Amino acid sequence: MFSFLSPEAITIGMFTALFIGVLSGFPLAFPIGGVGIITGLMLFGPNSFDLIYGRVYAIVTDYGLMAVPLFVFMGNMLEKSGIAKKMYDALYLWFGGFRGGLAIVSIVIGTIMAASVGIIAASITMLTLVALPAMVERKYDKGIATGAICAGGSLGILIPPSIMLIVYGPVAQISVGKLFMAAFVPGLMLSGLYIIYIAVRCHFQPELAPAIPKEERNVPFSQKTMLVAKTIVPAGILIFSVLGAIYFGIAAPTEAAAVGALVSTLLTAAYGRFSWKVLKDVSLSTIKLTGMVLLIASCSTAFVSVFLSAGGGKVVETFILNFPGGNWAVFTMIMIICFILGAFIDWIGIIFVMVPILAPIIPKLGFDPLWFAMMVIVNLQMSFLTPPFAYAMFFLKGAAPPELGIETGDIIRGMIPYVFIIVIELALMIAFPQIALWLPGTM
């Protein structure tokens, strides 16, 4: 019916309609899928459903995506174990004597939880309930307190086993195991940069995060060590059972996810927190989150299928390869676009829409696809900290006890410095690509 339209006009029309649909406030899956299906019917008639069905079926039945529900189950089950509270109580005794010590503890726990839970909502909620009251009661600046929780809790999207990595792999046709290993060093480095920022700032502005009085942490060395061991060692076992199996080639990510789900259940039982109600709640949460991921995946694939079939991919490729300024100008433009999209759109939609279009072009620009993947994923780390869509802000605000008086302005003020720290990490990864590529190269 509309076959007379040029690929350029179709490209502009589809992205304009998608942008309007996203701004309308509807759940992300509906505008993406709606634009794809309607455009397909306009261009190809009923045959568009055959085109869409094949691609959608391939993505939702991809073996790698089977790891999504298993890792979600693992994270939700570990949240029920209460290990975060025990870990905070143990690390509080070690770091509380430093200026900003409790904020640093929040980053450390966020890092450990990222490598064992991997679900942003769970990590930030746990840290908000456990760490925020302790910091506010001890006169911590609310920006310092909330910023540390949002930044530390968001590390789960970068440090494996991250759901984002599991989703990115099949879409870009990159090994999820290699993505896991590529993300490990950048994730730990970003955590280290967060800690350095807190330590340096609190050293020069001690009133923002005073040290905890000695009498509050007057516990024998042996007892403090035992408390840490009881929480760190079980978490370490879980992390090694998953990432170790992948690194040493014992299991693929999907099989390792199944092992992680089993180990997290056993840990929850060992801590005396397992029950049939817990199993029911964890299973329902897993179904809901997995269903959301697959729904967005299906609708995004419908959009991309029609877009590529209508010649939109060639339009984007021609535009990118002929962009003035060379390959690095193109790379900078892509990074800026990802950053802007992250402030308005869910990361799942960004990956399912952008990555299939960009993946074939990246090697032609001379960039390593694995390195580029890590640059996009680290970039999208900022999407959790940049309003108006900032997930971390809403999770913290929703979980914070009202009596603490946490305002949205406090959270935004606390998150902004970490956005600049992520930019610094991106610059370091450009200067030293082996930050992301070294560990996968040893597999």
Q: Which residues contact residue 239 at a Cβ distance below 8 angstroms, ignoring those fewer than 6 apart?
A: 112, 115, 116
d(CA 440, CA 133): 40
Low-confidence ranges of the chain (pLDDT < 70): 1-5, 25, 96-97, 117-118, 215-219, 221, 224, 443
pLDDT tens-digit profile of 118-130? Answer: 677 777 887 888 7
Domain boundaries, the chain: 67-304+312-441
Q: What is the pLDDT of residue 117?
A: 67
For the beta carbon of residue 163, count every other beta carbon within 10 angstroms.
23
Render pLDDT for 348-383 as a digit per residue (tens, 0 to 9): 778 888 888 888 888 888 899 999 999 999 998 888
What's the pLDDT score for residue 2? 54
The predicted pLDDT at position 216 comes to 61
3-class SS string, the chain: CCCCCCHHHHHHHHHHHHHHHHHCCCCCHHHHHHHHHHHHHHHHCCHHHHHHHHHHHHHHCCHHHHHHHHHHHHHHHHHHCCHHHHHHHHHHHHHCCCCCHHHHHHHHHHHHHHCCCCCHHHHHHHHHHHCHHHHHHCCCCHHHHHHHHHHHHHHHHCCCCCHHHHHHHHHHCCCHHHHHHHHHHHHHHHHHHHHHHHHHHHHHCHHHCCCCCHHHHCCCHHHHHHHHHHHHHHHHHHHHHHHHHHHCCCCCHHHHHHHHHHHHHHHHHHCCCCCHHHHHHHHHHHHHHHHHHHHHHHHHHHHHHHHHHCCHHHHHHHHHHCCCCCHHHHHHHHHHHHHHHHCCCCHHHHHHHHHHHHCCCHHHHCCCHHHHHHHHHHHHHHHHCCCCCCHHHHHHHHHCCHHHCCCHHHHHHHHHHHHHHHHHHHHHHHHCCHHHHHHHHCC
Is 311 in a helix, a strand, or coil? coil
* pLDDT of res. 96: 66
Q: CA-CA distances (angstroms) from residue 157 to 66, 101, 154, 243, 403? A: 18, 24, 6, 15, 30
> Residue 219's pLDDT is what?
67
pLDDT at 87: 75
**Which pTM was predicted?**
0.82
pLDDT score, position 215? 66
10 Å CB burial of residue 138 (0-12, 13-18, 19+) is: middle
CA nearest to 158, candidates 339, 374, 421, 6: 374
